[in-house]
Amino acid sequence: EPEVTQTPSHQVTQMGQEVILRCVPISNHLYFYWYRQILGQKVEFLVSFYNNEISEKSEIFDDQFSVERPDGSNFTLKIRSTKLEDSAMYFCASSSGLLGQPQHFGDGTRLSIL
Amino acid sequence: RKEVEQDPGPFNVPEGATVAFNCTYSNSASQSFFWYRQDCRKEPKLLMSVYSSGNEDGRFTAQLNRASQYISLLIRDSKLSDSATYLCVVKGNTPLVFGKGTRLSVIA
């Protein structure tokens, strides 16, 4: 069964540094998403991406964040000038976009900011 | 009012028990409904979609009441492997909105 893959599985970074989280969505999916989950809290939407542009973003997704699809397969989340509170699990997801069809999640990147 | 609210849990049940989870959502324009399961420090995995007529998948039964904006999940004959956090997830013209989840522990 096709799956969403994410790298790295764990990223440890000093506060103030930039990180790039990478995702390879399911190949025939058209919609891509980033979510985050702070330890002990619920999964929160960050951004959705379709047709090479952001289709929606949450209030969490401020100027510190950016997304890119640099080629036909990768989908990246860049976090500039990381803060302690950016420590969380970051999940990439993709979907076909058809009504009622679910999103499929990658196994996440655990980001630890020191 | 929170967008998606779930039973706080945790639910600790013996093997073989039947357990039910409830969920309410606030956005009446929501169109799609799902139950996901999440194991500790793992990604959410789709358990089942929830349809208006109700639907069943093996030991799992999901119900949707649009008028009451209420979703349920019933697990029959609980297995040890059912131990996880169950996430109620709702989607309208917006991205997925997750509940905080209900933790289930099935005990031998």
Using a CB-CB cut-off of 8 Å, the residues of chain A touching B46 are: 102, 104
Disruptive mutation site among A23, A90, A95, A103 for chain B (greatest number of B CBs within 10 Å): A103
Using a CB-CB cut-off of 8 Å, the residues of chain B touching A44 are: 98
Q: What is the structure's pLDDT at B50?
A: 94
For residues B58 and B79, give the distance between their C-alpha atoms in angstroms, rounded to a whole number: 13
Write the pLDDT tens digit of every residue in B26-66.
988 888 999 999 999 899 999 999 998 889 999 999 999 99
Extract the residue ranges of chain A whose pLDDT is less than 70: none
Point out the residue among B32, B43, B95 whose CB comes nearest to the CB of A45: B95
Q: Taking a C-beta distance cutoff of 8 angstroms, is the pair A33, A103 a contact? A: yes
Q: Taking a C-beta distance cutoff of 8 angstroms, is the pair B22, B70 a contact? A: yes
For residues B68 and B26, give the distance between their C-alpha atoms in angstroms, rounded to a whole number: 10
Phi-psi label, residue B21: left if phi above 0, alpha if psi -120 to 50, beta otherwise: beta
The shares of helix, strand and coil residues in chain B, as percent rounded to the nearest 5, are: 5, 55, 45
Write the pLDDT tens digit of every residue in A71-83.
878 999 999 999 9
Q: Considering chain A, what is the average pLDDT of its residues?
A: 93
